[in-house]
Each structure stands twice: as C-alpha cells, then as structure tokens.
Amino acid sequence: MLYYLFDYLDKQFNIPGAGVFQYISFRALGATVLSLFIAATWGKSIINLLRRKQMGESIRDLGLAGQMEKAGTPTMGGFIILASLLIPVLLFAKLSNVYIVLLLITALWTGGIGFLDDYLKKFKNNKDGLAGRFKIVGQVGLGLIVGITLSFNNNVKIRVYDQPVLSSSLGEVQRYRDIIHPTVTTIPFIKNNEFDYRTLLFGWLPEEYTWVIYTIIAIFIITAISNGANITDGIDGLAAGVSGIIALTLGVLAYLSGNTKFSQYLNIMYIPNSGELVIFCAAFIGACVGFLWYNAYPAQVFMGDTGSLMLGGVIAVVALAIRKEWLIPVMCGIFIVENASVILQVSYFKYTKRKYGEGRRIFLMSPLHHHYQKKGIHEAKIVTRFWIVGIILAILTLATLKLR
C-alpha cells in the first residue's frame, strides 16, 4: 500500500525522497524493521491474551528433561508470526505482483489449517486436533492453487536473453524473449542447470499436460515441507530459527533471480518480478527473529500448528516461485531429516513388530531432536547445533550458484 502511495506522490507532486520506495532494498529493510517492531510490541499482548483464553499447552509426559515444566505455556503463538509477516508485506510490497498474492494466500491458507488444528485441541478438547487426512486435503488444495497458478498465469514467465546486437547509434543492445508459462526449473550442481518438466516422462505425456506433472510435484513439496516444519517445532526456538535461516537463503536467491545483471553474470534463470519476493522474505525473517524473542529457551509461547504449518508452506511456495524447488533437499535438509526420522521410526517399528512380535526402534525417540534429548543433551545446545547445520546447508545452497 505504501508503495502505491509514494509512487503516486512521486509522480504527481515530485516530493523529494518519495521515489525511494521504488527500490527493493529500501522496502525490504522497511519490512524487516516493521516486522521486528510488531513482534516486539504486540508479542507480549498476544501472549497475555492467549493466557487469558487459557491456551496453555497440555504436555504429554515423554520422559524428556524439563518437559513437564513447560505445561501451561501459551500456544497458538503463530499469530505473532502471521501479524509480523502480513502487515509489513501489505504495506511495503506490490500487491499486484502474482508471487506476492500467491504467498499471501499461502500464509493465510496454511495458517488457517494450523489454527483449526489448534482450535480443536484447545477449545473442543480434542487431543488429536484436526484429523491428518483433513490436513492433507488442505495442503493438496493449496498445492493445486500454486501449481495451476504457476503453470497458467500470464504474469509468470522467465526471460531469455539472446546474443547482443551492436548498433552504431544505440551502442550495445540486448534482445530478449519472454517465455510465458515456463516449464523449466533449476537443477543444482550441473553445468547447464536447467531442467524441463516436459522431458520428465521421456515425452510420454503430451506437452499440454506438463502442468499436471508440475502440479503433482508442487503438491508433494508443499505437503512435505509444511509437515516437516510442523514436526521440527518440538523444542524452544528450533523451527523459527531454522525457518529464518532458510528464508534468508531464499531472499538472496530471489534477489539474484529477479535482477537482470546478477542473473546473467551467474548464468541463472532470470524471472521478471520475482525480486518482489525479497520484501516477503525480509518480513518473514523479521517475523521469525521477532518470535524468537519470546520463543527462545525457556519459551514464553509456542507457535503451535498455526505457525509451523505456515512456515513450511511459505518456504515451499517461495522455492517453487523462483524455480529452485530442486534445491529444497539441501536448503531444507533439517525439515527433511526430521520428517524422515519419523517415517523410518514408524516403518521400522511396524516391520519388526510383524516379523519378531515386538516393535524395535532406530532412534531413542523421533523426531530426531527428541533422540538427542533422550541422550541427555540440553535442548538449548540441540537447537544451537541444528542452527549451525542450517547455516552450513544455507551456504552450500548458495554455493550451487557457482559449483557446477
């Protein structure tokens, strides 16, 4: 909204300084500062409101050190993240941008799914919350919206520059062509690192149905990463910290992908208008850091599914929007490993129960962070080490820009 206001003031009245809102860097900085300010000023009020509504977390005794001391800590703190994210984006971003609209829908959609789960647990005394199948239906629905939008919206395109043409009057002129409804994506660690989904089934599927394959992949990614963030949210500061690191990585990739000069220098896909995602990522980082003020050990509030499902959903959609979804196994490695630890634990337990008559376990407890808690490592140390791993994965992700 502020973008349009200052753009109008600049064009109509030529007010000094109004044109600064044209710069992505300035708006990203403003979004970050405002996001931190909202979290810091409103966070305490939201926590007190949750306490008054008796939204304390019910703790199931799993035999973890310090676990029962957290009983009664307010949950549904994801509202702090949502408010700190959405308000700056609405103020500083171009709301006509297809990627911003898609991410606003994603944040509200996944936050809504998480809210229903938390609401049923707290207000309806349903300890299991929203049934898993309904969560999946919601995530599949979002995947359909994202996949179809990125496949058919005319504002979704990539720009390919041809060889420069020399002109005595104009100097060096670069010609380009826009590819509407692109079917290509980025493959890491490969020299010519673009992959076309049309070739995925060796030409068996007609080209006009490529969107079906892409949408199925989008559904899988959104579901996996959203649930991965949800599972990672098990100890104080873990999910918010890891998500902030991933968002910073995505913000850098979005800036490079949306900048003509940097994208050509790095020989990566140039995606017009994707630079606007930097504002969203900046607000996302501010929201995560601001939430950590209250969620760091010992936590004053838990984000609940309202926050964790939203974090994963937004990360997945940003990666899809900038055509970097195949970097997710590296960038979101912690979410994937946490997810895999649960799948492996459950699968192995069921297999050994059928074969030997009693279930056996790979880990002392899943997800993986609880395994380390069972080994007697303090949760603050576990979180710090997971953050360090997240930073290493972020560096490796950015290194793929040159390591081919």
Q: Which residue has the higher pLDDT, 70 or 387?
A: 387
Q: Give the tens place of pLDDT for each residue, 210-263.
A: 999 999 999 999 999 999 999 999 899 999 999 999 999 999 999 999 999 999
Q: Is residue 248 part of a domain?
A: yes
Whether 126 has a binding-site annotation, put simply, is no
Indicate if the pLDDT at residue 169 is higher than 60.
Answer: no
Share of the chain above pLDDT 90, in %: 68
Whether 153 has a binding-site annotation, put simply, is no
Q: How far is CA 403 from CA 221, 267, 324, 326, in A?
A: 24, 12, 15, 15
Q: Is residue 392 part of a domain?
A: no
pLDDT computed for residue 134 by the predictor: 92
Residue 36: how many CA atoms within 13 Å on its side-chain side?
10
pLDDT computed for residue 75 by the predictor: 85
Q: Give the pTM.
A: 0.93
Residues 6+ apart with CB under 8 A from 283: 31, 32, 34, 35, 84, 85, 88, 89, 92
Indicate if the pLDDT at residue 112 is higher than 50.
Answer: yes
Q: Are 138 and 310 in contact (CB under 8 A)?
A: no
Q: Cα–Cα distance between 280 and 261 in angstroms, integer?
A: 22
Q: Is residue 23 part of a domain?
A: yes
pLDDT computed for residue 62 by the predictor: 61
pLDDT class for 58, splitting at 50, 70, 90?
A: low
Q: Rounded to the nearest 5 degrees, what angle is found at the Cα of 323, between the Cα atoms of 23 and 138?
A: 100
| Total residues belonging to the chain | 404
Tokens standing for 195? 């992959």
What's the DSSP call for residue 56?
A: B
**Residue written as tokens 């509504």?**
53
Closest-CA residue to 147 (of 272, 320, 326, 315): 320
pLDDT class for 305, splitting at 50, 70, 90?
A: very high
Q: Is residue 337 part of a domain?
A: no
pLDDT class for 57, splitting at 50, 70, 90?
A: low
Q: Is residue 396 part of a domain?
A: no
**Residue written as tokens 């989904």?**
197
Closest-CA residue to 339 (of 234, 229, 216, 245): 229
Query: Which residue pairs from 15-24 have beta carbons closer than 8 angstroms and sit at least 24 positions apart in sequence?
Result: 24/255, 24/258, 24/275, 24/276, 24/278, 24/279
Domains: count for the chain:
1
Tokens standing for 390? 């997240």
* Cα of 286 vs its chain's centroid, Å: 13
Mean pLDDT of the 83-87 span: 96
Indicate if the pLDDT at residue 173 is higher than 70.
Answer: no
Q: Cα–Cα distance between 22 and 214 in angstroms, integer?
A: 33
What is the phi-psi region of residue 360: left when phi exceeds 0, alpha when psi lies from -120 to 50, beta otherwise?
Answer: beta
Expressed as residue numbers, the domain containing 99 is 1-53+71-162+177-328
Indicate if the pLDDT at residue 60 is higher than 80.
Answer: no
- The amino acid at residue 127 is K
- Classify the C-alpha dihedral 19-22-24-29 as positive or negative: positive
Indicate if the pLDDT at residue 166 is higher than 70.
Answer: no
pLDDT class for 54, splitting at 50, 70, 90?
A: low
Of the ranges 1-15, 160-174, 233-247, which is most confident? 233-247
Q: Give the tens place of pLDDT for each residue, 20-42.
A: 888 999 999 999 999 999 998 99
pLDDT computed for residue 168 by the predictor: 45
**Residue written as tokens 């820009």?**
401
pLDDT computed for residue 55 by the predictor: 65
Facing residues of 166 across strands?
172
Averaged pLDDT score across all residues of the chain: 89
Mean pLDDT of the 165-176 span: 55
Q: Cα–Cα distance between 111 and 303 in angstroms, integer?
A: 11
Residues 6+ apart with CB under 8 A from 348: 360, 361, 362
Alpha helix segments (H runs only) across 233-271: 238-257, 260-265
